[in-house]
Amino acid sequence: MKTVTILGATGSVGTSTLDLIERSPEQFEVIALTANCDVAKLADAARRTRAKRAVVADETCLPALRDALAGTDTEVAGGPAAVAETAAMDADWTMAAIVGCAGLKPVMAAIEQGRAVALANKEALVSAGDVMMAAVARTGATLLPVDSEHNAIFQCLEPANRDRVRRVILTASGGPFRERSLDEMRRITPAQAVAHPNWSMGAKISVDSASMMNKGLELIEARHLFALRPDQLDVLVHRQSVIHSLVEYVDGSLLAQLGPPDMRVPIAHALAWPDRMATPMAPLDLAAIGRLDFEAADMVRFPALALARAALEAGGARPAILNAANEVAVAAFLAGTIGFLEIAAIVADTMDSYDPGAPDTLDAVLEVDAGARRIAGDRVLAKAA
């Protein structure tokens, strides 16, 4: 029996994780589930899994959660501090699937326990890469990559040959706008941006995929997870999303991981690791897929990728600024306040006008994050005016 906690249990990754866990009730015991405010979904999942605790980050949603779970043994709590405390509860395996830097404190709290942490919440690692990896080294926690690309790299990296890696190639579907001109992208609506051709995901990561900021965040994520140099990291557009990433060795061998574009594959890998577990999806039918296409990424039509590459190379506070500005700009785009191309423009502006020193503690990272959010928020207001 593995005890598990799911942070962000009501989201796309959280729901896929619950699906796998509920198919094997004899193998998993749910300690805690958290959400922001989706009380109906959280309470339903807590009842089904008999979770010991259910928590909403938005404290105003706590009374509704208390009502929804009245008469059960599930303890309820509310507020960001309660989410972080819950992440520190004793669980063998924690899924970190909160979206955005809001997940940073809870992920750090889980890492402090020195157990297994499955990481989907890439924004936390992008913002606090050095601080988080230092905590992993200090506590002996096992960080299991859930992002499909990083999970693929994790599977392709030969532990004995880490110093024989020449390059790691992250594949990218190219998102829904891979064939649109810059002029067409000016008029993209939020509904068009969240309609990803291959993956079903939450709204924020769907917009990041459309702008290719997602791939940029993933470059930074890969740097920290696998201790790679920026010049060892490449992006390759592969529209079928069948190859999830590749590792190239000095002898010219390329190892790739293939699988259906369903997050339950990498989640199952992290859930069962170092074992393997069955998933309910049909096996990949390569004959039916027929062909796999590859092309170079276009940094001109997708400036977010170039901005992320610059942050990756500069390090220090740059990735945290990039991420915070992007979170603010994506939220404004989804709210209909700014246009699609203004996301990257706001990130660029924020990066140009903010240059704090490299943050070396969690509080310092959160300070950089808050500073970048203020600047990006002002830029949103200026664009909206």
Q: Which is nearer to ligand NDP, 225 or 349 (CB)?
A: 225
Q: Which is nearer to ligand NDP, 215 or 301 (CB)?
A: 215
Q: Give the closest residue to 148 by CA, choosing from 199, 197, 108.
A: 199
Q: Which is nearer to ligand NDP, 208 or 349 (CB)?
A: 208
Q: Which is nearer to ligand NDP, 263 or 338 (CB)?
A: 263
Q: Is the dihedral of CA 260, 263, 268, 274 positive or negative?
A: positive
Give me the 47-86 binding string for ligand NDP, x by CB under 6 A, dash otherwise.
----------x-------------------------x---
**Cis? peptide before 274, omega within 30° of 0:** yes
Residue type at position 122:
K
Among 21, 263, 267, 372, binds ligand NDP (CB under 6 A): 263
The b/e string for 189-199 (b: 16+ C-beta within 10 A; e otherwise) is ebeebbebebb
Applying CB under 6 A, does 202 fall inside the site for ligand NDP?
A: yes
- What Cα–Cα distance (Å) separates residue 71 from each residue in 47, 48, 67, 74, 75? 10, 14, 9, 9, 10
Applying CB under 6 A, does 13 fall inside the site for ligand NDP?
A: yes
Q: Which is nearer to ligand NDP, 86 or 350 (CB)?
A: 86
Among 20, 38, 65, 321, binds ligand NDP (CB under 6 A): 38
Applying CB under 6 A, does 8 fall inside the site for ligand NDP?
A: yes
DSSP designation for 211 = H
- What Cα–Cα distance (Å) separates residue 325 from each residue in 57, 217, 268, 318, 345? 22, 12, 32, 11, 10
Among 14, 174, 175, 303, binds ligand NDP (CB under 6 A): 14
- What Cα–Cα distance (Å) separates residue 168 from each residue in 150, 248, 295, 324? 10, 6, 16, 26
Q: Which is nearer to ligand NDP, 29 or 58 (CB)?
A: 58
- Smallest gap, in angstroms, from Cβ of residue 119 to ligand NDP? 9
The b/e string for 161-186 (b: 16+ C-beta within 10 A; e otherwise) is eeeebeebbbbbbbbbbbebeeeebe
DSSP per-residue string spanning 31-47:
EEEEESS-HHHHHHHHH
Binding to ligand NDP (CB under 6 A): which residues in 111-130?
Answer: 120-123
Distance CA 37, CA 41 (A): 9
Among 32, 97, 172, 332, binds ligand NDP (CB under 6 A): 97
Distance CA 102, CA 369 (A): 10
Bridge partners of 165, per DSSP, are 249
The site that binds ligand NDP (CB under 6 A) totals a number of residues, namely: 29
Q: Which is nearer to ligand NDP, 203 or 310 (CB)?
A: 203
Residue type at position 155:
Q
Residue whose entry in the numeric block shows the structure tokens 């807590």: 46
Residue type at position 107:
V
Stretch that binds ligand NDP, among 9-17, 233-241, 249-257, 306-314 (CB under 6 A): 9-17
Q: Which is nearer to ligand NDP, 54 or 297 (CB)?
A: 54
- Smallest gap, in angstroms, from Cβ of residue 218 to ligand NDP? 9
Applying CB under 6 A, does 328 fall inside the site for ligand NDP?
A: no
Distance CA 246, CA 254 (A): 6
Q: Which is nearer to ligand NDP, 95 or 349 (CB)?
A: 95
Stretch that binds ligand NDP, among 33-41, 176-184, 225-233, 337-345 (CB under 6 A): 33-41
Among 51, 84, 91, 98, binds ligand NDP (CB under 6 A): 98
Among 4, 5, 10, 257, binds ligand NDP (CB under 6 A): 10
Positions in the binding site for ligand NDP (CB under 6 A): 8-14, 35-38, 57, 83, 97-99, 102, 120-123, 147, 199, 201-205, 263
